[in-house]
Amino acid sequence: MTPIKECLINNKTDLVPIWLMRQAGRYLPEFREIRKNNSNFINLCLNSKLSKEITLQPIKRFDFDAAIIFSDILMIPYGLGQKVEFKKNFGPNLGDLDIDKLLEIEEEEFIKNLSPIYELLVELKKSNDLKGKDTIGFVGAPWTLLVYMINKVSPKKGLNNNFFLNKELINNLLKILDRFIKIHIKNQINAGATIIQIFDSWAGMIKSDFDKYLYNPTLSLVNYTKSLGAPVICFPRGISDYSQFCRIVEPSMINIDYNVDPKNLLKNIDIPIQGGLHPQVLLTDKANLRKEVKKYLEIFKNHPYVFNLGHGILPETKIEMVEELVKIVRDFK
Ligand code: 1CP
Candidate of 73, 120, 145, 196 to mutate for ligand 1, largest count of ligand atoms within 8 Å of Cβ: 73
Atom of ligand 1 nearest to the CA of 201: 33
Whether ligand 1 lies within 6 angstroms of the CB of 26 is answered as yes
Encode pLDDT of 231-242 as tens digits. Answer: 999 999 999 999
Residue ranges covered by each domain of the chain: 3-331
- Residue 273 bridge partners (DSSP): 254, 305
Task: Count CA within 13 A, CB hemisphere, residue 226.
Answer: 15
Q: What is the pLDDT of residue 164?
A: 75
Whether ligand 1 lies within 6 angstroms of the CB of 154 is answered as yes
Encode pLDDT of 60-87 as tens digits. Answer: 999 999 999 999 999 999 999 999 999 9
Q: What is the pLDDT of residue 158?
A: 79
- Cα 52 → chain centroid: 17
Q: What is the pLDDT of residue 302?
A: 96
Using 50 as the pLDDT threshold, list the residues of the chain that sit under it: none
Whether ligand 1 lies within 6 angstroms of the CB of 282 is answered as no
Neighbours of 327 (CB within 10 A): 14
Whether ligand 1 lies within 6 angstroms of the CB of 199 is answered as yes
The SS3 call for residue 75 is helix
CATH dotted code for 3-331:
3.20.20.210
Q: Say whether pTM exceeds 0.95.
A: yes
Terminal CA-CA length for the chain = 21
